[in-house]
């Protein structure tokens, strides 16, 4: 869909930029469970994705197996890597395996409503043995989105968001791998109370919100690894100002567990233990709900000095005449700080000039949440960024933290 | 000016003398028209008076705070939320929910954020990790002199 940009079609421009509408599919192979060479490094890529319309979206490849089997497995590419969510979610339409559906504490099927800012995804919690690079997570609870056995979405799930995202086209990837700082997607909130928009106990005819113990929740697979299980490092190359068609990099599991993931002299910024926030100091503002997120496809912040784009569907993006070099200071909950330089370019011209590109280091826009600076995937270009899991230690400190 | 009464929300009695209790309404609706709003959200409530509006604060069982801003005309002109779950937007947006849904189609949005800017409705919503934050307001109904930045 990026190619459509040349025509100047506004809707296509917006869809290409921010979402991932379009065709499905995308290189799914069914394997025979041969383990990759023992390694803690998974390849990652930023490209236009299975819908051929993604921008600044990081993908990797995972292998899932029926629990206990080493042969009944499937390798799935273009799984989005997201450091702002937790756990593996796969679109049912690309999954050829039948995995066991988990049960709620009352014995009914356990089904989850995953709410995003722009919509919701519905599907059961199922168990898999997952492999990525040389790491394995056995009996891992994952969500299978859009499972045809569970099509009746309860209203208090669908009332949360504007769009049901249960297909590759609407979801924008074949799945998502949440490897942020927390162990489970919901945590104690779902142990304490039955909340709409998280877990449901479903019979054949009805669903009701339910509590779920931590062990039953969709979980960050890193916490299931036997080794290299205290976090991960994302290492991406720098990108020329005008962007690139695609880039490749590394997702390295573990921190200070192997020779390739040693801590050095990075700034170690702890994040708040409830929400994962950092504080950003920018233009005299103290933005206490800030974060670094591979799942955001630009840098999003409010700066009234930079003009927004005139194109109506890009109106929340910045379109300065000349690229603006800016600086913010990130501050951890531990008081540690790090200066971050970044560039806000002209979204309209960068997209129009490079219609086949999927990598745009200068893409920036306004932030819908006050008090927040969202450093998205462009932050990672040219950096090596460690994300340490909650309660886990490395030689640089105890998670949850971000270091770069 | 506060319509003091006893009310039952999520099975909890609040003494009127301690907690002035008015169920907040949906966006664009009168505050007294949707007594069930807080109850449907299973929320506790408190109301504080500001110069140009009353701020109704509800806390959902998840811990999420929902703020509804009621103007001197008695109608809700803004809602805002912050916490580990999103409120039921069909309930809190009321008749603007359908406007919201149709506005999002084919529009700039991502898993982590969404912004709708129409003459009659602004929605700003973000999700990060285990946190949701956002607001919706009716630009033409925001009382003169109220800073949009207050609507949180």
Q: Which of the 8 DSSP states describes residue A318?
A: B
Flag whether pLDDT at A351 surpasses 60.
yes
CA separation, residue A366 to residues A30, A64, A362, B45, B118 (Å): 42, 38, 13, 32, 16
CB pair distance less than 8 Å for B126 and A160 = no
**Structure confidence by residue, pLDDT tens digits, B1-36:** 333 333 333 333 333 333 333 444 689 988 764 455
C-alpha angle with apex B142: B140 to B145, nearest 5 degrees? 120
Identify the pLDDT of residue B30.
85
User: Domain locations in chain A?
Assistant: 2-224, 264-403
Q: Where are the alpha helices (DSSP H) in A287-363?
A: 347-353
Higher confidence at residue A63 or residue B4? A63
Can you give the pLDDT at residue B105? Answer: 73
Set of chain A residues whose Cβ sits within 8 Å of the Cβ of B109: 18-19, 117-119
List CB contacts (< 8 A) between A366 and chain B: 115
Closest CA in chain A for residue B133: A369
Share of chain A above pLDDT 90, in %: 84
For B59, the enclosing helix (H) or strand (E) is strand B53-59
d(CA B16, CA B97): 32
A2 vs A354: which has the higher pLDDT: A354
Cα separation, A156 vs B10, whole angstroms: 16
Residue A291: closest C-alpha in chain B: B128
The proportion of chain B whose per-residue pLDDT surpasses 90, expressed as a percent, equals 54
| CA-based nearest distance B119→chain A, Å | 13
What's the confidence (pLDDT) of residue A5?
A: 27
Read out DSSP for B76-135? Answer: EEEEEEEESS---HHHHHGGGHHHHHHHHTTSSB-SSEEEEE-SS-EEEEEEETTEEEEE
- Reduced to 3 states, what is the DSSP secondary structure of residue A11? helix
pLDDT range class, residue B38, cuts 50, 70, 90: low
Picking from B63, B126, B129, the nearest residue to A117 by CB comes out as B126
Give the pLDDT band (50/70/90) at residue A19.
very low
Element (H, E) at B39: helix B37-40
Tens digit of each residue's pLDDT (9 = 90 or more) over A189-218: 999 999 988 999 999 999 999 999 999 999
Angle at B51 between CA B4 and CA B79, to 5 degrees: 75
Which pLDDT score, from 0 to 100, does residue B128 have? 92
Please report the pLDDT score of residue A312 as a whole number.
81
- Write the ipTM: 0.86
* Closest CA–CA distance from residue B1 to any residue of chain A (Å): 31
CA B8 from centroid of its chain's CA atoms: 19
Task: For residue B57, give how far its alpha carbon lies from the nearest alpha carbon of chain A (Å).
Answer: 18
Verify whether the Cβ–Cβ distance A289 to B130 is below 8 Å.
Answer: no
Mean pLDDT of the region B121-126:
94
Query: Given a cut of 60, is residue A371 above it in pLDDT?
Result: yes
Alpha-carbon distance of B133 to B152, in angstroms, equals: 9
What is the spatial order of strands in the sheet that A337-344 belongs to? A337-344, A324-331, A278-282, A285-292, A374-375, A299-300, A364-365
pTM of the model: 0.88
A255-312 residue pLDDT tens = 999 999 999 999 999 999 999 999 999 999 999 999 999 999 999 999 999 999 998 8
Cβ–Cβ contact B11 with A under 8 A: no
Q: Which of A163, A316, A368 sits opposite B104 (nearest CB)?
A: A163
Tokens of A100: 């066991």
Cα distance from B93 to chain A (closest Cα, Å)? 10
Residue A354: pLDDT band with limits 50, 70, 90: confident
The nearest CA of chain A is from the CA of B11 a distance in Å of: 15
| Region A19-44 average pLDDT | 53
Which tokens sit at A396? 């640089």
Q: In Å, what is the CA distance from A276 to each residue of A86, A147, A186, A206, B112?
A: 12, 30, 13, 34, 14
Instruction: Say which residue, A175 or B28, is predicted with more confidence.
Output: A175
pLDDT in tens, B63-97: 999 999 999 999 999 999 999 999 999 989 999 99
Report residue B112: phi and psi, to 5°: -95, -15
pLDDT at A44: 98
Whether residue A159 and residue B91 make contact (CB cut-off 8 A), yes or no, is yes
Taking residues A89-117, what's their average pLDDT?
97
Q: Do B123 and B136 form a contact (C-beta atoms < 8 A)?
A: yes
Minimum mean pLDDT range among A43-47, A168-172, A264-268: A168-172
Tell me phi and psi for residue A74, to 5 degrees: -145, 135
Look at strands B76-83 and B65-71 and give their pairing.
Answer: antiparallel
pLDDT digits (tens, 9 = 90+) for A322-350: 999 999 999 999 999 999 999 999 999 99
Numbers of helices and strands, H then E, in chain B: 3, 9
Report the residue from B89, B110, B152 with minimal CB separation from A160: B89
Residues 6+ apart with CB under 8 A from A319: A307, A308, A309, A310, A311, A346, A347, A348, A349
CATH class of A264-403: mainly beta
| Alpha-carbon torsion (A360, A366, A368, A371), positive or negative | positive
Select from A78, A87, A29, A26 the least CA-distant residue to A57: A78
Arithmetic mean of pLDDT, A152-178: 92
Looking at chain A, which residue has its C-alpha nearest residue B89? A160
Contact A193 B126 (CB under 8 A): no
Q: What is the pLDDT of residue A161?
A: 79
Tokens for B134, please give them: 């956002």
Smallest Cβ–Cβ distance between A187 and the set B110, B114, B130 belongs to B130
Which residues 34-73 of chain B have a CB within 8 Å of chain A?
Answer: 60-63
User: b or e along B118-136 (b: 16 or more beta carbons within 10 Å of the residue's beta carbon)?
Assistant: eeebbbbbbbbbbbbbbbb
Q: Are A158 and A114 in contact (CB under 8 A)?
A: no
> How far is it, in rounded angstroms, from Cα A200 to Cα A187?
15
Q: Where would I find the H helices in A113-167?
A: 155-158
Residue from the list B106, B111, B134 with its beta carbon closest to the beta carbon of A15:
B106
Report the alpha-carbon distance of residue A387 to residue A389 in Å, rounded: 7
Question: For residue B37, what pLDDT band results from cuts at 50, 70 and 90?
Answer: low
Residues of B in contact with A293 (CB under 8 A): 112, 128
Nearest CA in chain B to A179: B129
Q: Residue A67 has what pLDDT?
A: 98
C-beta atoms of B113 and A275 within 8 A: no
Considering only CA atoms, which of B110, B96, B136 is closest in space to residue A21? B110
Q: Which residue has the tokens 């968001």?
A: A161
* DSSP 8-state secondary structure symbol assigned to residue B140: G
pLDDT of residue B36: 56
Task: Give the 3-state secondary structure of residue A2.
Answer: helix
User: For residues A358 and B52, what is the distance between their CA atoms, to the nearest angstrom?
Assistant: 47
* pLDDT at res. B147: 93
Look at residues A155, A12, A161 and name the one whose alpha carbon lies nearest to residue B134.
Answer: A161
- Nearest CA to A289 out of B126, B93, B18, B88 is that of B126
Interchain contact, B62 vs A161, CB within 8 Å: no
A291 to B129: CB separation less than 8 angstroms, yes or no: yes
């Amino acid at each position: 869909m990026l190619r459509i940009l040349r025509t100047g079609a506004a809707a296509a421009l917006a869809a290409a930029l921010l979402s991932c509408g379009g065709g499905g599919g995308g290189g799914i192979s069914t394997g025979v469970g041969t383990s990759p060479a023992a390694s803690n490094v998974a390849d990652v890529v930023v490209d236009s994705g299975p819908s051929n319309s993604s921008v600044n979206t990081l993908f990797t490849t995972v292998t899932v197996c029926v629990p206990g089997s080493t042969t009944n497995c499937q390798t799935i590419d273009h799984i989005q890597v997201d450091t702002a969510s937790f756990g593996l979610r796969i679109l049912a339409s690309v999954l050829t395996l039948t995995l066991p559906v988990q049960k709620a504490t009352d014995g009914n099927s356990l089904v989850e409503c995953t709410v995003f800012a722009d919509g919701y995804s519905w599907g059961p919690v199922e168990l898999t043995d997952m492999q990525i690079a040389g790491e394995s997570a056995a009996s891992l609870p994952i969500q299978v989105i859009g499972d045809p056995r569970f099509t009746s979405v309860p209203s208090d799930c669908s009332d949360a968001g504007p769009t049901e995202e249960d297909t590759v086209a609407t979801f924008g990837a074949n799945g998502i791998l949440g490897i942020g700082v927390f162990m489970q997607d919901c945590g104690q909130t779902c142990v304490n109370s039955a909340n709409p928009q998280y877990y449901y106990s479903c019979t054949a005819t009805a669903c009701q919100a339910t509590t779920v113990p931590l062990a039953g929740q969709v979980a960050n697979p890193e916490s299931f690894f036997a080794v290299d299980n205290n976090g991960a490092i994302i290492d991406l190359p720098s990108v020329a100002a005008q962007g690139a068609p695609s880039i490749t990099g590394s997702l390295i599991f573990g921190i200070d567990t192997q020779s390739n993931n040693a801590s050095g002299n990075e700034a170690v910024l702890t994040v708040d233990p409830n929400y994962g926030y950092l504080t950003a100091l920018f233009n005299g503002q103290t933005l206490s709900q800030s974060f670094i997120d591979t799942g955001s496809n630009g840098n999003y912040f409010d700066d009234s000095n930079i003009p927004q784009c005139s194109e109506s569907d890009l109106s929340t993006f910045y379109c300065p005449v000349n690229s603006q070099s800016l600086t913010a200071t990130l501050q951890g909950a531990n008081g540690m700080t790090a200066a971050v330089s970044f560039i806000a370019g002209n979204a309209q011209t960068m997209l129009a000039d490079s219609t086949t590109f999927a990598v745009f280091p200068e893409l920036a826009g306004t932030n819908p949440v006050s008090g927040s600076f969202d450093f998205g995937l462009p932050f990672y270009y040219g950096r090596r960024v460690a994300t340490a899991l909650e309660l886990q230690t490395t030689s640089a400190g105890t998670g949850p933290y971000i270091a770069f | 000016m506060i319509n003091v009464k006893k009310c039952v929300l999520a099975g909890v009695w609040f003494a009127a003398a301690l907690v002035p209790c008015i169920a907040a309404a949906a966006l664009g609706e009168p505050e007294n028209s949707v007594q069930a709003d807080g109850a449907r959200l299973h929320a506790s409530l408190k109301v504080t008076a500001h110069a140009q509006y009353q701020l109704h604060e509800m806390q959902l069982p998840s811990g999420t705070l929902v703020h509804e801003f009621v103007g001197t005309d008695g109608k809700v002109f803004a809602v805002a939320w912050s916490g580990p779950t999103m409120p039921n937007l069909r309930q809190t947006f009321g008749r603007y929910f359908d406007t919201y849904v149709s506005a999002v189609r084919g529009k700039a949005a991502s898993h982590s954020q969404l912004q709708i800017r129409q003459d009659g409705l602004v929605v700003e919503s973000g999700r990060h990790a285990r946190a949701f934050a956002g607001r919706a307001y009716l630009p033409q109904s925001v009382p003169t002199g109220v800073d949009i930045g207050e609507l949180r």
